[in-house]
Amino acid sequence: MRLNQVTLPALDVAQSVAFYRKLGFKLIVDAPHYARFQATTGDATFSVEQAEARAWRSQVVVYFECDGLDQQVAALKAKGIAFVQDPRDEPWLWREARLVDPAGNVICLYHAGENRLHPPWCVRTPLTTGDATL
């Protein structure tokens, strides 16, 4: 299975579109109530969709991996993007910076390198002969 996309609620779709375009994402679907973006690297997508009101307190965090995280954050700050957490090294061996989109969704820009899929504490699954899915 492949993850297709994540859809975030947006109180003002046009404002969210401007925010994510400023972050560098490519707009591929644009409607008054919905927009979809392609990641800056690869073919992953995510969307924003009109929400009626902020009746939720989401604890979802959307992670976008960046090479050169510190330089990326500096470039975004130069464009006027505000961060709630500057880049810092976390105990789980990722370097993370956090910001909030116009609808209140938490966005984490991070760099994990090898530790994204293979941290020192990852679950090791023995390979079974002939099983290419493990």
Among 10, 90, 96, 93, CA closest to 47: 10
Query: Distance between CA 109 and CA 23 in Å, rounded?
Result: 10
Query: Distance between CA 21 and CA 110 in Å, rounded?
Result: 18
Half-sphere exposure of 94 (CA within 13 A, CB side): 17
- Full set of structural domains in the chain with CATH: 7-116 (3.10.180.10)
Give, for all 134 residues of the chain, the pLDDT tens digit: 777 889 999 999 999 999 999 999 999 999 999 999 999 888 899 999 998 876 666 778 999 999 999 999 999 999 999 999 999 999 999 999 999 999 889 999 999 999 998 899 888 877 666 655 55
91 Cβ contact list (under 8 Å, min separation 6): none
Among 6, 112, 26, 40, CA closest to 69: 112
- pLDDT at residue 42, as a whole number: 87
- pLDDT at residue 45, as a whole number: 94
- pLDDT at residue 59, as a whole number: 76
